[in-house]
Amino acid sequence: MNSTAPTTQASPEWIIKFDTPIYTDANADAVPSRPLPLAGLRFAVKDNIDVASVPTTAACPAYSYTPASHAHVVERLLQAGAGIVGKTNLDQFACGLNGSRSPYGAVPNSFNADYVSGGSSSGSAYAVATGQVDFSLGTDTAGSGRVPAGLNNIVGIKPSRGLLSARGVVPAAPSADCVSIFARTVATAVQVLQVARGYDAADPYSRQLDVSQSPFPPRFRFGVPDVLNFFGDAAAESAFEDAVSRLVSLGGVQVTIAYAPLAQAASLLYDSALVAERYAALREFVDAHDADIIEPVRGILTGGRKFSAADLVDAQRRLRELAQRVTPMWDDIDVLLVPTAPTHYTIAEMQADPVALNRNLGAYTNFVNLLDYAAISVPSSIRADGLPFGVTFIGPCGSDLRIADLGQRYHHATGLGMGATGRPLPPAVPLFDAPAPATVRVAVVGAHLSGMPLNKQLTERHAVLVAETRTAPDYRLYALPGTTPPKPGMVRVAPNEGSAIIVEVWEMPVEHYGSFVAMIPWPLGIGTITLADGSSVQGFACDALALASAEDISHYGGWRAYIAAR
């Protein structure tokens, strides 16, 4: 391993650069040409993550130590061919979301130096946004891997907890900590994620997680909180409205979700005995060096002393209650959309009111790790005042690659450049090596149409609407008596002796098709339906024996028109 000491330059660039980039011995002399997945990429590391022979300070000089080995995640990246060029400033002990809680100075926003960069991974985001490195590592306990991304027009991946090892990372709240990844494109961030992830038996919070899911579907349902607070920032509110419209144009259907239980879970991070974990993580140092910790970090850490073990048990039980309460949300949506940060503050504003304004920046981030979700923040727009605005896609644990796929589609639809560099985005690249899962197309004609009572039988099996069309003019449609909910029956007749009936064609994963067919009651069934363009799909058919007392409604042209006429 080639090591180096950091330079002594005072760095307004918010990255302490090394005299020579650090590589492993195996690739130090030939990084650009070796067939390694990250060959030629340069990265920076948040200064609460260990790099061998380089001091780790966590933005607290009295805490500084020099590790003998790399953090697990750093070692994996070096072995993949990447090189470390420096370490970055942060909110002290990763305790903050704004980037101004450091004795080394407040990190400015990459677009307007009067504004905060977001934290605690402030320097890591700044180094990526300004083009100094290809990617960087941060950490995320309450939003530190997302807020700086949203405020600097870059991508921030907050992995599922335990997907990346935290061995060699200064703990903040170990049960909620994640190593995060910043990059200017989703593709680069995912490439790093794929290298960095992996089970580590030496990390008590590491997990073996399966993230090998299929790409995000072309049609999907996205949740939006029923109550949104932008703290008086009209520009941010307008930017989020535009984001919702863009996601609809990309195939999304907006679903309103109750935000109250998520907000209640978020409040537990600092306003309950859960904050005791932050104190416990650094107890020995905090007790011995109280005066060496800056405010308001000191107040947060020492505030954990006042809670009892019983208080902590109560808080953990309350969190589990809220987790159970919100779990059904995922039955109705495929992804949750929130503003990465609801507003943007100047450094002066933040320093004048550091607790309340910091809390505002985390309005839509704090619950994510507590509830064991994955998230990715992607750029959304540049506001009229020239400041970036980002959105975050949140999914269940293990959905990391799936929501990244949607994030890449969204990012490329914005037309934005990369970070603060002014350079355009490169073409999107496939994020999945495996082919998309096999699907089957099914034509529905009645109660399974969009908005009809049985449509959920399709959507809960991840079917997506691909077309509204008509059959060939060889079918007749009947209203079947005594069915609940009301259903039609469609039968084939001699060529050109029927009508062209309106149908919807839905695409469903083959793995779910059998359970769908098994739910269809007599006299209905599945057969082959010919569409107006001559193509054939699977579709609903009806046993002719059931039509004796049925009303012929073919002249309506479809089930919706018949229902409307009733």
* Closest CA relative to residue 506, chosen from 480, 529, 533: 529
Angstrom CA distances, 49 to 54, 71, 270, 329, 492, stand at 10, 6, 23, 35, 68
Rounded Cα distance, 186 and 215, in Å: 14
* Residue 283: Cβ within 10 Å count: 14
Q: Active-site residue 120, yes or no? A: yes
Query: Tokens standing for 529?
Result: 């339906």
Helix (H) or strand (E) holding 397: none
Nearest to 508 by CA among 470, 542, 466: 466
**The token pair that represents 16 in the structure block:** 């302490």
Options 46, 87, 158, 487, the catalytic residue: 46
Q: Which residues pair with 18 in a beta bridge?
A: 6
Q: Count other C-beta atoms under 10 Å from residue 105's C-beta.
A: 16
What is 44-82 written as a DSSP string?
EEETTB-BTTB-B-TT-GGG-B--SS--HHHHHHHHTT-
- Catalytic residue of the set 100, 122, 144, 554: 144
d(CA 125, CA 150): 9
Active-site residue identified among 102, 110, 117, 120: 120
Residue 546: helix, strand or coil by DSSP? helix
136 a catalytic residue? no
Q: Cα 205–209–212 angle (5° rounding)?
A: 155
Residue with tokens 């109250």: 260
Question: Catalytic residue numbers?
Answer: 46, 120, 144
